[in-house]
Structure 1
Amino acid sequence: MKKSLFFGLSLIFILNYILLPSHASAYSYGDPGEEKIAEAYKELETSLENDDWDNAKKIYGSYEKDFDLYFSKVTPDIDKAFEEKDKELLLKSWRAALMLNIERRLHFAQEQFDDYGQAKLLLAKARGTYNVLEPFVVEKEGQEQADKIYSSFDTALKSLGNPGLFGIGSKDNDTEAFDKEVESIIGELQPLFPIPSEEAGESHLNEENLGLLNGLTEGGSSSFWLFFSIALILLLIVLIVMNKRKNRK
């Protein structure tokens, strides 16, 4: 009995360790409004101002897997920028990746719209990325336009509704309103942050850079891991029962 219990618990631990999303650390959810790859842009900018290409390369190295998985269209420009030591190209390419990150976050927020907690978290991540891009929007389009995009984020948040505490104070959600604001945000930002090697206005989002099983691994894992844990517990129970029957024989 003890051996079966130990084996079952060990199995649960090992499987969770192996299957737990590898990017959990890359996307810390300690601060809902912080996106690490966006915050890294600030450090990259400082490094380039000081002509510290070694540190710039180190920063990129910390997120190279993310670029390969989700922002692969940008990597040729990134590589070219490092090869030619082109500061503007590198920064412009990273900003394009941040734009793509906003699209991805909003895309999965739409997919998980009925999961209030996850949709809200993904929306916060998108807004956190926009916080880094906002100064460039101001530079290109003015403060009024930048504030308009923030307003769209605010309206999108309201459209998520609120489940309330045990249903008390709950507010209905509005899918159409949310989709409208998502479309507005992307429509305003995408032309401002094109992938350097591509023409502005093309959609950055495709199956390749959404990432395999990304709906489960980034911000949308709660439901999946709930069912997964239940399945592991059931498996443990079956193992214990089978062991008991074996011992009786």
Structure 2
Amino acid sequence: MTSASAFAYSYAEATDPTADIFKEAVVAAKGGNWGKVSGLAKKGVALQKGHLFEADFLAKPLSEAIDKKDVAKTAELFANLAYLSIREKLHQNKKENFKNYKNAKARLQLARKSYMDVLDGNVRKQKAASSLAIMSQFNVALENIGNPGLFGVGKKAPDPSGYNQAVKQIEALIVDSFPSFAK
């Protein structure tokens, strides 16, 4: 198995690897296991290699936060890594122009789950209305990927403009709660 295939995953999986890495890193950092945190940082940055939103720019700040044993900054940077993965999924749907409904829907659901698992708790603490608005925009995005229907019944064409607007709102609301993600 090559290093690239070691990081491959299916959109049908229940969790996003970057969400899992975030959780592991926070637990390890709180437990003072900085060697594990360092390895997870390298793995997380590598996961985004060759993607629409690479994470190379996070490598140095992650290393610095780990060296300083700064749990809060480390958690914030791993959350940013998860945000890049969420954006990746949202934008990959746009890039593929909703050609495969099943993949587009699974990708969107995984982005939503990653948001819920990693970012929503802090968004909700800061501004509950933003949390509700983000969830609403995920629903709007889902409506706008279209639907092939069952034997043509319930068929709905994708609305790229509506989807793009929902994605912009999701990103803007997340960045409003996490200004450091604006890069």
Interval of TM-score (by shorter of Structure 1 and Structure 2):
0.7 to 0.9
Between the aligned partners of 1:64 and 1:114, the Cα distance in structure 2 is 27
1:105 equivalent in structure 2 = 89
Q: Number of aligned residue pairs: give it.
A: 178
Structure 1 spans left out of the alignment, 5+ residues: 1-16, 205-249
2:157 equivalent in structure 1 = 172
Q: Does 1:184 align with 2:169?
A: yes
| % identical aligned pairs | 25
For 1:139, which of 120, 125, 128 is the aligned residue?
125
Q: Which runs of 4+ in 1 moved over 6 A?
A: none
SS at match of 1:74: helix
Kindly provide the CA deviation profile for residues 126-185 of structure 1, in whole angstroms up to 9, marking residues without a partner as x: 21221121001012222x321221111011101112102332331232222111111100
Tell me by how many angstroms 1:23 deviates. 4.7
Tell me by how many angstroms 1:71 deviates. 0.5
Q: Which has the higher contact order (CA 8 A, sep 6+)?
A: 1
TM-score, with length taken from structure 1: 0.63
2:38 equivalent in structure 1 = 57
Inter-CA distance 85–68: structure 2 relative to 1 (3 Å threshold): farther
Aligned CA-pair RMSD: 2.5
Q: Does 1:22 align with 2:4?
A: yes
Which residue identity does 2:125 align to in structure 1? E
Give yes or no for contact 2:44–2:81 (8 Å, CA) kept in 1: no
2:58 equivalent in structure 1 = 74
SS at match of 2:4: coil
Inter-CA distance 93–180: structure 2 relative to 1 (3 Å threshold): same
1:161 equivalent in structure 2 = 146
SS at match of 1:34: coil
Between the aligned partners of 1:173 and 1:64, the Cα distance in structure 2 is 32
Q: Which has the larger Rg?
A: 1
Inter-CA distance 162–24: structure 2 relative to 1 (3 Å threshold): farther
